[in-house]
Amino acid sequence: MKPVLPFPFQKRILIAVSGGIAAYKICEVISTLAKAGAEVRAILTDSAQQFITPLTIATLCRHQVYTDADFWLPTHGRPLHIQLGEWAELFVIAPLTANSLAKISVGMADNLLTNTLLASSCPVLLVPAMNRQMWQQSIVQQNWQQVLSDGRFHGIAPVAGVLACDLPAEESEGWQVGSGRMAEPRQILACIESLVQTGGKRDLVGKGVLVSAGGTREHLDPVRFIGNPSTGKMGLAVAQAAVHRGARVTLVQAAMSAELLALLPDEVEVVSVTSAEQMRRAMLERFAQADITVMTAAVGDVQPLDYCDRKLSKADLPTVLPLKHCADILAELGKIKQPPQFLVGFAAQTGDILTPALGKLKAKNLDVIVANPVDKPNAGFGSDTNTATLINQAGKQVNIEGCSKLTLAHHLFNFLETVKK
């Protein structure tokens, strides 16, 4: 799955690379940003150059790379760290080593990276990578929490995975796995996109966001089902956006791939279901604790009247399949919604998308409906991009054309601010 960013992504992004084997991952991040139209500048520490060359990064940035050798050169203009700090609209440090983290936590300025950081005022994204025992040290965790307590700093904590510095376990067990592995490029890019969209604001801190995603499956027997093409990408984007804005997020998902679920921030609570009834129960159990509920899931409308617990032979398959209606989860939530809860629905439509969406908005007591054409290119089920019209109860409409699903999710949270409770 290729990373997706809105185009043109005309932002000035400064990326600093400190020393660690994970430095190779930043190449994909820089390449994707540059291809999307961003202006990218890079700083490499002396230790970073032991893992990746300035020429590699300069080629991907399409611009000179800055090192400590440039920092200490005499200049007749303004100091380099001042120029870079004022130029940047977003500062990314990846990989962030324990050494650089410690320096940042106490405000040290002993190289180009740390001096530039102190000379800047834009949001900063920190992406650590280190040996698992180093990451778990109490002093490292104290430094991490101290830095993140400053609202200017945002972080993606290391994830569990095979680390280059770990010794192999028994041959039959493979390599040891531990926390310390740097986040994958697609996760870093998602956080960059969110920070660009929000300017670093955390307007959902203290809020609980409940999201449904994917497509339910109504089984006839253990191997056959009635389903739909929903992949859960829109729900993933809503969950990512909510976490990036500071919310506590629960995702109730059906039939999402392991590849997509791996892109969720670690903070997201994931509840896995299969059928519409299972999703109904999961949503009802958690709805009262949610400040905002967003139903992106494509929930089945009908299910087989009868279920067989063994695979039916071809000869036993009915030529006419009796059906019964599934529960309408969104309508049920709309009936029990209490102020100041917000309830958002999605209307996946073909042809005229507004008329049925408006009907759904009123009939199901929603605060906002997202009218989503699924018969247009690069929109709807399975697409990485989307097009939609956002509508609130007062009749206000905002058209969102051709953007990534993560950007659409941020437009949705911004639009919720127009809804008065």
Q: Are residues 216 and 353 in the same domain?
A: yes
Query: Is the residue at 2 inside a domain?
Result: no
Pick from 174, 198, 222: which residue ends a domain?
198
pLDDT at 6: 58
Residue 171 is predicted with a pLDDT of 46
CA distances to 407, 411, 415 from 400, in Å: 10, 8, 11
pLDDT of residue 393: 92
Q: DSSP class of residue 394?
A: T
Question: Does the structure show a pLDDT above 80 at 175?
Answer: no
Q: Is the pLDDT of residue 209 over 60?
A: yes
In angstroms, rounded to a whole number, what is the distance separating the alpha carbons of residues 208 and 286? 10
**pLDDT at 153 > cutoff 70:** yes
pLDDT of residue 262: 93
Give me the number of domains the chain comprises: 2
Q: Is there a domain that residue 354 lies in?
A: yes
Q: Using alpha carbons only, how large is the chain's radius of gyration in Å?
A: 24
Co-location of 174 and 227 in the same domain: no
Looking at residue 72, its pLDDT comes to 75
What pLDDT does residue 74 have? 66
Please say which residue of 198, 228, 260 terminates a domain.
Answer: 198
- Asked whether 29 and 185 are in contact (CB, 8 A), the reply is yes
- Is the pLDDT at 296 greater than 90? The verdict is yes
Angle of helix 185-198 versus helix 26-35 axis, rounded to 10: 50
Q: Are 409 and 240 in contact (CB under 8 A)?
A: yes
Q: What is the pLDDT of residue 3?
A: 56
Q: Are residues 223 and 331 in the same domain?
A: yes
The boundaries of the domain holding residue 324 are 208-416
Residue type, 236: L
Give yes or no: residues 91 and 112 share one domain.
yes
Q: What confidence tier does 419 reach under pLDDT thresholds 50, 70, 90? A: confident
The C-alpha atoms of residue 128 and residue 144 are separated, in whole angstroms, by 9
* Cβ neighbours of 74 (radius 10 Å): 4
- Residue 71's nearest CA partner among 99, 112, 11 is 112
Which residue type is seen at 308?
C
129 and 250: one domain?
A: no
Q: Rounded to an integer, what distance in angstroms lies between the CA atom of residue 334 and that of residue 340? A: 13
Quick one: average pLDDT of 336-355? 95
Domain harbouring 372, CATH code:
3.40.50.10300
Q: Which of 124-138, 270-284, 370-384 has the lowest mean pLDDT?
A: 370-384
Q: Write the CA distances from 345 to 51, 107, 296, integer angstroms.
A: 48, 46, 7
The pLDDT tens digits of the residues spanning 297-327 come to 999 999 999 999 999 999 999 999 999 999 9
pLDDT digits (tens, 9 = 90+) for 222-281: 999 999 999 999 999 999 999 999 999 999 999 999 999 999 999 999 999 999 999 999
Catalytic residues: 165
Q: How many CA atoms lie within 13 A of 268 on its CB side?
A: 28
**In the predicted model, what is the mean pLDDT of residues 20-47?**
95
Q: What is the pLDDT of residue 134?
A: 93
Within a domain: residue 294? yes
